[in-house]
Structure 1
């Protein structure tokens, strides 16, 4: 190693040690030769080194990466991809420690001996750090509508691009106003908190659960068609049936009404999907509650 090469290597090491982004060095055969984690706690360089991109990503994402890598070389400028890393679709990453769905920006940079893949987790951006408190519901700790809607929009676009199924579930408490009137607001608050705690414990890591408004909650479910979404809704209703809050009059039981809608194709939209899920929820409530309804 020449003195100039040694100094360049030291400068690169110093730079990699200070940045938040994770970096994967990929050779012309598309194998990872080296990786650095940045601030991503689930990113394990030792587990990545020696693996091929086809080992790490499903075929559709590998194809998208291949296109970006070709463009990075021919256009001599970085190529950006907005990706959602879903543990269920990425067994290698799940083994490394990826437990929850993660939105990242992946930049592909051409190098003399391959490519650099620079990964920035969107949740670690300065904007998100500054607004994290406004994206959480102060009562339950769940994400709120402000956090949910951008996730839904980006996830829907990615599902349409790669032809993935996905569904949305809208959850309403039956007779929640009556519960508040009879047992008091504190009991109602305790009920909401207990429900959220159970949902957070039982949902998949890839599901995005949020408090939509009042006693309404919503959950985006990737890799989930309508039939699977309705099965998930049935599990949520069973969860509610098994959950009770102590009151002076004894345990307080409650039921839920749930609407479910699935992505219909590339012509679908966030607005249309949310309109359907709200309509299905309305049908469930008008049919007596304690039931789930999906697209007809």
Structure 2
């Protein structure tokens, strides 16, 4: 399993203040639900101040109650049904939807993003109710936010991400995640998982979000909760794509989705009923949230057709698996699509005699479905066919990512210039006149085979370039991390600290939020070095760093700025709270017994604390004020927390420093 996102990178993005975040009443709800003691009455009062959220909350609650229970009609009932974690996450999701319906990323389809996110939420809710992997309310929230990393990248880098999306559309063979990794040193999946973790969702939810678009990389234990949740996300994403796809693509996408549903234990009728419910609720929710929607597919007939198509594949004498194959040198996978069995038999004989593997289809619709599954190198198809003629089939193929790479040979009974021009403009590569002459057909096949081989060689070269670019991006990222990391303690170094506190200063200015910092000196460290040597000094630094790391809050950032000095950056923190945090750090180090393999040493620290105020023109003024606090602590006997600001909060209990025990 590949490692998750480096949280240092996420913290850098978070410090910009530009990541999508909740606002207004939603922010109040989230903060209230995070409190240790919150009454339902108080929470209901805050929720009722936002009528739109009230309606959404009650509808969500009715979506998870049993059919035989009476409907939820009040906020208090909805809170009892959903629980605080689900309410908090729903408030977050709906707040983002309200605030980020539009944006500055030209290539990002905001309306489609929210429609697909809503479909993911509803699909997750319905699937989870049947499979009982997680609670339905949690599933709804998870589905709604599973792809929030895409929105975040569009918000953080509107110009660059728009260009990247356009490049991905123009060159479908390029993976979006590879492009994101090269451009931003992280993917939208990694960013989604990191944002959900930052918002308080447990690891059992965030890890499946990290991998559900590349499930083969996950490596979860079979039968575990993470694996079950991953499969629910995969199935929900597939159902979302079906709902938003064209009618032709819907039929082609259903067989593999039905196969996954069956593997998860969903019977055909039960699955069809679940899909119908998703479609109905999608229309209702879209009206409630003022999102654009289209008529959902007729899932009943779609599931039946998908099952019939799957059964037909299983009965095929030589099923072809769509796996990566070596370069075409002799034979190709060729699909023959013609309504006349006699013509198909004749073509099969000619093609197999030339060493090709042949798959047949009797009409255009069947050919389209089979092509998406088999992924042939070449298709030989008749122009005149019932249901979907050859020209319509060519256009449908070229509208799909997979179909753009298939070499299409069109069979026609006329050589009219206008009709041939129409065929080439639709996407055909070549044509053969009926009745087919074997020597002409073989010559056309050899020409097509050369094109297919060149395409494969080009794809191999592109894959090597993608692989090289991904390795280079990872190497550059590691070099950047090494340049910003202190090798001894593992903390960020002085260079990172300067950049980070500048970012926090900017965010504090923009959001009008407090910003505090602490400067920490190890008391008597020079004496330890002089008495016991630098090796022992390094041990002291490492173990002191570990103690500080454990005692810090999750939002704080600690860096080693040199020697025995550390700085702690405390976003959204007033002076009193920073003093309390500084005291906790002092106590953690004072309680530490440093194991050196020889003498066991005691250690203390002096901490200076400062908060940004109106008199400070820049970051340097804030750091200088904290440094004055640390000097004050040293003057007063060390092992203290001190500040040059505030009253009555400039020191804590004293101790001893640097003594052997």
TM-score (normalised: structure 2): 0.29
Partners of 2:616 and 2:571 lie apart in 1 by 18
Is the contact between residue 628 and residue 644 of structure 2 (CA under 8 Å) also seen in structure 1? no
Equivalent residue number for residue 220 of structure 1: 569
Name the count of aligned residue pairs: 218
Which sections of structure 2, spanning at least 5 residues, go unmatched? 1-106, 121-138, 165-190, 207-290, 293-472, 646-661
Instruction: Verify the 8 A CA contact 2:539 2:596 in the aligned structure 1.
Output: no
1:137 alignment partner, SS class: coil
Task: Report deviation, 1:250.
Answer: 4.1
In structure 2, relative to structure 1, the CA distance for the partners of 1:286 and 1:165 (3 Å cut) is same
Partners of 1:288 and 1:274 in 2: CA distance: 22
The partner residue of 2:144 within 39, 50, 64 is 50
Aligned to 1:173: 522
State which of 129, 148, 166 in structure 1 corresponds to 2:497. Answer: 148
Shift of 1:25: 6.4
Match of 1:236 in 2: 585
Residues 27 and 138 of structure 1: is their aligned pair in 2 closer, same or farther, counting only changes over 3 Å? Answer: same
2:111 aligned with 1:27, yes or no?
Answer: yes
Determine whether 1:135 maps to 2:229: no
CA drift of 1:242 comes to 1.0
| Pairing 1:94–2:443 present | no
- Contact 1:24–1:34 (CA under 8 A) maintained in structure 2: no
State yes or no: 1:203 paired with 2:552: yes
Is the contact between residue 610 and residue 643 of structure 2 (CA under 8 Å) also seen in structure 1? Answer: yes
The alpha-carbon deviation at position 205 of structure 1 amounts to 2.4
Are 1:251 and 2:600 counterparts? Answer: yes
**CA–CA separation in structure 1 for the residues paired with 2:539 and 2:634:** 23
For 1:250-289, list aligned pairs within 5 A. Answer: 250-265=599-614, 268-289=617-638
Deviation at residue 271 of structure 1 after TM alignment: 1.1
Q: What displacement does 1:49 show?
A: 3.6
Partner SS state of residue 561, structure 2:
strand
> Where do 1:2-81 residues align within 5 Å?
26-27=110-111, 32-33=117-118, 47-50=141-144
* Per-residue deviation, 1:130: 3.2
Partner of 1:11: none
What SS does structure 2 have at the residue aligned with 1:197? helix
Larger radius of gyration: 2
* Kept after mapping to 2: 8 A contact 1:167/1:221: yes
1:291 aligned onto 2:640: yes
- C-alpha change, 1:48 and 1:260, in structure 2 (3 Å) is same
CA deviation after TM superposition for structure 1 residue 24, in Å: 8.8
Q: 1:252 is paired with a residue of what secondary structure?
A: strand
Deviates more, 1:183-192 or 1:242-251: 242-251
The CA deviation at 1:281 is 1.0
The alpha-carbon distance between structure 1 residues 163 and 245, as it changes in their structure 2 partners (threshold 3 A), is same
Match of 1:191 among 522, 540, 551: 540
Contact 1:169/1:220 (8 A) holds in 2? yes
Question: TM-score normalized by structure 1?
Answer: 0.61
- Distance (whole Å) between structure 1 residues aligned to residue 500 and residue 489 of structure 2: 19
* Counterpart-to-counterpart distance in 1, 2:109 and 2:533: 58
Contact 1:25 1:34 in 2 (8 A): no
- Measured in 2, the distance between the counterparts of 1:203 and 1:26 equals 38
Residues 227 and 125 of structure 1: CA distance in aligned 2, closer, same or farther (over 3 Å): farther
Distance 2:597 2:144 in 1: 62
Q: Specify whether residues 177 and 266 from structure 1 end up closer, same or farther in structure 2 by C-alpha distance, changes over 3 A only.
A: closer
1:25-61 deviation per Cα after TM superposition (whole angstroms, max 9, x unaligned): 64399674479xxxxxxxxx9855436xxxx9xxxxx
Question: In 1, distance between residues paired with 2:631 and 2:196?
Answer: 36
Q: Determine helix, strand or coil for the equivalent of 1:258.
A: strand
State the structure with bigger RCO (CA 8 A, min sep 6), 1 or 2: 1
Q: CA deviation at 1:175?
A: 1.1
Q: Deviations over 1:178-220 (max 9, x none)?
A: 1111122111110100111222233222211110110001110
Secondary structure of 1:169 counterpart: strand
Deviation, 1:266, is: 9.4
Supply the RMSD in Å over aligned alpha carbons. Answer: 4.1
SS, match of residue 27 in structure 1: helix
SS in structure 2 at match of 1:233 = helix
In structure 2, relative to structure 1, the CA distance for the partners of 1:258 and 1:50 (3 Å cut) is: same
Q: Higher helix share goes to which structure?
A: 2
Q: Distance in 1 between matches of 2:618 and 2:606?
A: 24
Whole-Å Cα distance in 1 between the matches of residues 119 and 614 of structure 2? 39
Question: CA 1:206/1:181 → structure 2, altered by over 3 Å: closer, same or farther?
Answer: same
